[in-house]
Amino acid sequence: MPHIILCSYFKPLKETNYNRYSDLAYRISYHLILFTPKKQPIITSKTATELEIIFKEITLYKGYELFGLVLHPDHAHLILCAKPTHYIPGIVKDIIERTSFSILNRHREIQKKYRIKKLWSGNFYIETMGSLNIEELKSLLQDTKEHDLIDERANI
């Protein structure tokens, strides 16, 4: 079954491929995949639009850069850049808790229908981007066959 893309956002890339923080230059990028509980198709086009806004707000507020976001009914792909001082579990916790709180408070019917307390399961997949650039990952996430391979690799 092909994956349905509810939302796809990619930030235009800067001319430089690194960031500056204090007196150092860095490029720390992550590909994060969040899953809904039991991979249920909880995310709708309406909640996807709200989630895009919330993801952008959280990352801006916390000092991460959101370079890409692809939302599916049962999972989300995020491409993030963080400072060397950011703690990976803290990044994931912030994102999971804040999006869950915002969406489930606005859409109580989701909690009732799926009997969940959080929008995302505790399982997630994260990888550093390494030499894979954002443009390559963008094309992989939008190609159904490649997307299936990424999801299979991340299958928890």
Domain ranges in the chain are 7-154
Task: Give the long-range contacts of residues 118-121, CB within 8 A, separation 24 or more.
Answer: 118/37, 119/36, 119/42, 120/34, 120/35, 120/36, 120/37, 120/76, 120/96, 121/34, 121/35, 121/36, 121/37, 121/38, 121/39
Q: How would residue 5 be classed by pLDDT, with cut points 50, 70 and 90?
A: confident
What is the maximum span of the chain, computed from C-alpha positions, in angstroms? 50
Whole-prediction pTM:
0.84
Q: Is the pLDDT of residue 118 over 50?
A: yes
pLDDT tens column, 32-57: 999 999 999 999 999 999 999 999 99
Architecture of the 7-154 domain: 2-Layer Sandwich (3.30)
Cα end-to-end span (Å), the chain: 19
Phi, psi of 21 (to 5 degrees): -145, 120
